[in-house]
Structure formats: structure tokens, C-alpha cells
């Protein structure tokens, strides 16, 4: 297998942690259906129960509040589509920079959708949220609001405490997309005003194909996939035991390994190299609190598609934003909502870090970036 010089796409999918791999392999050796009452079935059920306790512990939740799903997208869809069915929801409110999973689920819910504007740094307009809630109260309506804790493209952290203070004391519902902050920030689900929280396995070094929806007791009836009563009747389908075991092992290991200060140093070092090599570069959401794992930047005149091919040739893996577009490079709806000039957003790149990141990755990035810029300079010179 060819090793890359640098993997800087953790926000898309983190490398599988050794602990997760070991847990997956061990679970694959246990045969049985977790819904069966015989010995093998009980052994498989024990693996799921143990994983549920681990995820609950990391998330600050009760085990019974954890519903395993096939992905964070499924968890989000269950929360929004299922929430609209389970409660008298008149409208779904989402921020303009939400992940496509949230935007598409809101559209599919059948309820009217209200998009909240964001400022130039990507933060939700709280005055617009207050006004939306006031309109709902005046009309005696219930709304479901969905907010991304940290943006997957820019890393910008939404003011969750202020949002929860606005929605928590009301009858309105709140879903938090916590995919990017899970295991990086204390989630403390039990103490939060959020009714539902979505998390993912492969963003924290677990396998793809597994996520979870955290549900408060009053939201226990939020369902999406009917079936044979699995997940306490809240999500049908035989549970993927090996994936669930890997998810739990990854969450435990990732939380123990995560060093925010070290990763902030890597991000800051990368951004210093960007500015040194390309003084005209822009770093998006740089003026607000961001996750230390994420840097979204653009060099005017260097198109994203061209830049990614150049980096790839040098063994550096990064992205142009969300990795949920079938490999396509398209203009970011996040940057568009932030009011970024289309010509500049067409040059946006995202580097993201995680448990396997080192200073060697920054050096590899710097070398590849220098080569990319020199090639561009050479072409410009010939053109002149």
C-alpha cells in the first residue's frame, strides 16, 4: 500500500484507530443475532450493551438515550423527519451553513423550512432566531431547530450556550449536529437543553457505516426506520455489531488521545506557512472561535480543483469542503452563505487534522504548496 506524505482530511473521515480495528476484528469472531435469546445471541447483545455504555459515558448521556444508526446522516434524518412526525412541528429552522444532511432532511420532512442567515464568519444570526421563535409563539406553533455545533468546512463554533438558552426553556425542539465536536469538546448531553444530538463513528477514528442519535426521554418516540424492535424499538434492523464495537473503542481511544493544544499548534503552523508562501491568501472564519482541527483557506486565482490535483500528486490529501458530494468539486454553500466572493470561494481548500496528525504533515503540506505555487508562477510567466 502506498503511504501518503500527509493525510489532512480528518473532517471527511479519520484514519481507523488501532483500538477500533482490534475491537472490530474481535467482534467479527462472535457469531449470533443480538435479538436471539440463546447463548451466542446474548454474547453479541453484551457487546452492543457495552458499546452503548461507552458511547453514553463519552457523550455524558444515559445508555438508554443512545440509539445506534447507520450514519450521522441517518441520525440527523431520524431526528428531523421523525421529529416532525412525532411532534406537532409547524416549521423546521436551520442555519444557512448547516451540513447538507441537515438541509436535505429538513426539505424531506414535509414541514416548511426557514433558513437563518449567518454573518461573515459563519455564525447564526441570533436576532433572526429570536424573531423566528417569537413568530412561532405568536402563532401558537412548535418549531424544530437544527444547529451544527462546529462547521465541517470552516471549523467555526456556533454559540451553543446562547442558542440553548433561547430554545431550552420553550416548548420548541433543538437538534444539535455534534459530528465535528464529538470527543473534541465535552458534550454533556444530560445537562444540555438539546432534545436530540447526532454523532458519527468515522470522524473519530471508528469505522464508516455507524453513528448514533442521542434522545432525551420525551423524544423517545422519534423514529424513522420501522422493524423488529431493535434499539428499543427506535431503529429497526439487525445492529452491525462489529461496527458498533469499533465505534465505541474509537470514541474511548480518541477522547484519551485528543490534545487540543497540540492540534491548534499544527493548524496555526499550517496557516503561518500558507500566509508566508501566499501573502494574499484568506483564512475563513479566522476571527471567531474555531475547532483546532480545521483550516479553510483560499489563494486568489488558484482554483480548488487544480490545487487539489497538485497536492494529490505530491501525496497530500485535503479537500475543498464537505466530502458528501460524490467526489465533485462545487462551490461551497457555506462560503456562499457567508457572503464570500464567488471567485474566491472557487479557490477554497480545507485542511483538517486529527489523532494521526504530526508536524511532518505540515512540512509535507508546505513542500507541496511551494511546488504548486511555483508551477502556477511558471505558467503565469510563460503566459506573460
How confident is the model over 12-28, as pLDDT tens digits? 999 999 999 999 999 99
Q: Predicted confidence band at 331 (pLDDT cuts at 50, 70, 90)?
A: confident
- Contact by Cβ (8 Å): 174, 164: yes
Asked if 347 is an active-site residue, the reply is no
Which pLDDT value is given to residue 1?
A: 35
Q: Predicted confidence band at 32 (pLDDT cuts at 50, 70, 90)?
A: confident
Which pLDDT value is given to residue 37?
A: 86
* DSSP structure string for 53-87: HHHHHHHT--GGGEEEES-HHHHHHHHHHHHHHHT
Closest by CA to 213, choosing from 229, 227, 230, 231, is: 231
* DSSP structure string for 166-194: HHTTSS-EEEEE-TTTBTTB---GGGSS-
Which pLDDT value is given to residue 129?
A: 97
Q: What does pTM read for this prediction?
A: 0.93
- What distances in angstroms separate CA 63 from CA 66, 107, 197, one per listed residue? 6, 31, 14
Percent of the chain residues past pLDDT 70, beyond the cut: 94
Which pLDDT value is given to residue 39?
A: 85
Q: For the purposes of burial, counting CB atoms within 10 Å of the CB of 134, is it exposed (0-12), middle (13-18) or buried (19 or more)?
A: exposed
Q: For the purposes of burial, counting CB atoms within 10 Å of the CB of 270, is it exposed (0-12), middle (13-18) or buried (19 or more)?
A: buried
- Note the CATH number of domain 259-383: 3.90.1150.10
351/383: higher pLDDT:
351
Which one of 28, 130, 161, 324 is the catalytic residue? 324
Which pLDDT value is given to residue 326?
A: 42
Would you tell me the crossing angle of helices 160-167 and 126-138 to the nearest 10 degrees? 10
Other CB atoms closer than 10 Å to residue 377's CB: what's the count? 10
Which pLDDT value is given to residue 40?
A: 82
d(CA 91, CA 220): 20
Q: Predicted confidence band at 376 (pLDDT cuts at 50, 70, 90)?
A: confident
Q: Where are the domains of the chain?
A: 18-256, 259-383
Tell me the three cell numbers of residue 274: 500558507
Which pLDDT value is given to residue 383?
A: 38
Closest by CA to 251, choosing from 99, 50, 30, is: 50
Which pLDDT value is given to residue 207?
A: 98
Longest pairwise C-alpha distance within the chain: 77
Closest by CA to 79, choosing from 212, 169, 190, is: 212
Q: Predicted confidence band at 3 (pLDDT cuts at 50, 70, 90)?
A: very low
Instruction: Considering only CA atoms, give the Rg of the chain.
Output: 22
Which pLDDT value is given to residue 329?
A: 59
d(CA 314, CA 296): 20
- Decide if pLDDT at 382 tops 50: no
Would you tell me the crossing angle of helices 241-257 and 39-59 to the nearest 10 degrees? 30
> Over the chain, what is the mean pLDDT?
93
H or E, element range at 215: strand 211-215
d(CA 116, CA 121): 14
Which pLDDT value is given to residue 323?
A: 52
d(CA 148, CA 111): 20
DSSP designation for 91: E
pLDDT digits (tens, 9 = 90+) for 52-94: 999 999 999 999 999 999 999 999 999 999 999 999 999 999 9
What is the arithmetic mean of pLDDT over 331-355?
A: 95
pLDDT digits (tens, 9 = 90+) for 37-56: 898 888 999 999 999 999 99
Lowest mean pLDDT among 228-232, 278-282, 329-333: 329-333
Which fold does the domain 18-256 belong to in CATH?
3.40.640
What is the arithmetic mean of pLDDT over 232-255?
A: 96
d(CA 278, CA 370): 9
- What distances in angstroms separate CA 9 from CA 114, 142, 337, one per listed residue? 31, 38, 23
What is the arithmetic mean of pLDDT over 191-203?
A: 97
3-state secondary structure of 305: helix
- Decide if pLDDT at 2 tops 50: no
Say how far residue 223 (Cα) sits from the centre of its chain.
Answer: 21
Tell me the three cell numbers of residue 41: 445471541
Which pLDDT value is given to residue 322?
A: 55
Amino acid at each position: 500500500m502506498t503511504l501518503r506524505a500527509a493525510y489532512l482530511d480528518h473532517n471527511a473521515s479519520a484514519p481507523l484507530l488501532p483500538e477500533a480495528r482490534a475491537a472490530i476484528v474481535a467482534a467479527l469472531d462472535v457469531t449470533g443475532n443480538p435479538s436471539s435469546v440463546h447463548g451466542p445471541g446474548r454474547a453479541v447483545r453484551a457487546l452492543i450493551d457495552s458499546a452503548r455504555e461507552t458511547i453514553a459515558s463519552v457523550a455524558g448521556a444515559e445508555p438508554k438515550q443512545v440509539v445506534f444508526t447507520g450514519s450521522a446522516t441517518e441520525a440527523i434524518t431520524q431526528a428531523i423527519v421523525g421529529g416532525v412526525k412525532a411532534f406537532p412541528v409547524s416549521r423546521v429552522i436551520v442555519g444557512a451553513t448547516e451540513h447538507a444532511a441537515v438541509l436535505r432532511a429538513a426539505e424531506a420532512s414535509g414541514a416548511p423550512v426557514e433558513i437563518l442567515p449567518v454573518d461573515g464568519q459563519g455564525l447564526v444570526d441570533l436576532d433572526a432566531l429570536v424573531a423566528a421563535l417569537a413568530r412561532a409563539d405568536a402563532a401558537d406553533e412548535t418549531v424544530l431547530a437544527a444547529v451544527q455545533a462546529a462547521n465541517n468546512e470552516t471549523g467555526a463554533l456556533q454559540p451553543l450556550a446562547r442558542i440553548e438558552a433561547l430554545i431550552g426553556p420553550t416548548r420548541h425542539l433543538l437538534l444539535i449536529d455534534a459530528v465535528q465536536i464529538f470527543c473534541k469538546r465535552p458534550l454533556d448531553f444530560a445537562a444540555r437543553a438539546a432534545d436530540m444530538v447526532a454523532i458519527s463513528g468515522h470522524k473519530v477514528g471508528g469505522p464508516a457505516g455507524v453513528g448514533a442519535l442521542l434522545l432525551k426521554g420525551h423524544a423517545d418516540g422519534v423514529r424513522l426506520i420501522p422493524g423488529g424492535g431493535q434499539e428499543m424499538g427506535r431503529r429497526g434492523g439487525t445492529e452491525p455489531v462489529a461496527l458498533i464495537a469499533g465505534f465505541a473503542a474509537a470514541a474511548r481511544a480518541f477522547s484519551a488521545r485528543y490534545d487540543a493544544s497540540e492540534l491548534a499548534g499544527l493548524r496555526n503552523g499550517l496557516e503561518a506557512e500558507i500566509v508566508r508562501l501566499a501573502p494574499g491568501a484568506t483564512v475563513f472564519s479566522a476571527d471567531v472561535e474555531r475547532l483546532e482541527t480545521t483550516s479553510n483557506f483560499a489563494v486568489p486565482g488558484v482554483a480548488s480543483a487544480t490545487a487539489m490535483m497538485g497536492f494529490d500528486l505530491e501525496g497530500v490529501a485535503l479537500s475543498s469542503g464537505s466530502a458528501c458530494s460524490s467526489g465533485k468539486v462545487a462551490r461551497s454553500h457555506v462560503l456562499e452563505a457567508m457572503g464570500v466572493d464567488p471567485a474566491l470561494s472557487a479557490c477554497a481548500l480545507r485542511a483538517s487534522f486529527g489523532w494521526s496528525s504530526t508536524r511532518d504533515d505540515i512540512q509535507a503540506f508546505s513542500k507541496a504548496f511551494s511546488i504548486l505555487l511555483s508551477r502556477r508562477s511558471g505558467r503565469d510567466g510563460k503566459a506573460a
